[in-house]
A = this chain, B = another copy of it.
Amino acid sequence: MIAEVLTIGDELLTGNTIDSNSAYIAQRLTERGYWVRRITTVGDDVGEIMSVIREILNRKPSVLVISGGLGPTHDDVTMLAVAKALGRDLVLCEDCLERIKQFYEELHRNGLIDDPTLNEARKKMAYLPEGATPLENTEGAAPGAYIEYEGVKIFVLPGMPREMKAMLEREVLPRIGERKFIQKKFLAEITDESKLAPILNEAIERFRVKIHSSPKGFGKFIGIIIFAEDEAKVKEVVEFMEGKGIRFMEGW
């Protein structure tokens, strides 16, 4: 089960914002048993977003999560670019428009904005690619979108972390399967790292888990992350590897 993540925003490409969204999305997908193969970041540019979406769809992942560029301003062009990449029109989602109207009226009642009117910029957010299922934004104005396209589940989420996270939990994760992975981190004490690789590979095949390893310190320790369905499975893997002479410490 392969997934890809696409984050969108000029502020990411100038280094003004560190892209923590992609790590969050990748972590949640990994916990569901997906292998995130690639994360891509592009700016708020219709042509560039279209190109990268087409490239990703050609690689046929099971899931594509897109985040950023759904707001009311002129540089929020993600929905338009998604529609164009899929050869679809943008169409008005009446329910979304009503929801956006209520959202701004509530902001106005709470004194956060001067004018609750649905101007063009705010209305723009109610347009989704034809055939998309709207995803509810409990934390902001712009709805997301869910589109199945040639076997790829495409989710389009806002870029504001609070809005993105809420939508990911409520609207995305329930649609991508029930399988859950936990991850446990260990330090393995080892002097010859080349001996570790075959043992890791044997454990991966035997227990059908995912294991990552990376050096810690100056080669005395190897950080090991075991991704498995439950704690019992992690324990089995650890015992198997200890039987092969690897010494584990919990921690990282």
Contact = CB atoms under 8 A, between A and B. Distances in A.
Give how many copies assemble into the complex: 2
B15 A23 contact: yes
B15 A114 contact: no
A41 B222 CA distance: 22
Nearest to A69: B214
Looking at A19, A20, A122, the one whose CB has the most chain B CB atoms below 10 A away is A19
Closest 9 pairs between A and B when the two form their complex, measured CB to CB: A15-B27, A15-B26, A39-B41, A15-B23, A18-B23, A13-B36, A14-B30, A74-B197, A73-B215
B73 A213 contact: yes
A121 B40 contact: no
B72 A183 contact: no
A43 B213 CA distance: 12
A59 B190 CA distance: 43
A138 interface: no
Interface string A12-48: 1111111110111111101000011111111100001
Interface in A213-246: 213-215, 217-220, 222, 225, 227
B219 A121 contact: yes
A193 B17 contact: no
Contact of A194 (B14, B39, B71, B121): B121
Contacts of A74: 193-194, 196-197, 213
Nearest to A227: B14
A39 B13 contact: yes
**Chain A facing B: main interface SS:** mixed
Interface string A68-102: 00011111000000000000000000000000000
A212 to B, nearest CB: 5
A157 B205 CA distance: 33
A10 interface: yes
Interface string A109-140: 00011110001111000000000000000000
Given A212-B10, A220-B113, A193 B30 contact: no
A119 B192 contact: yes
A104 B54 CA distance: 47
A52 interface: yes
Interface in A169-208: 183, 191-194, 196-197
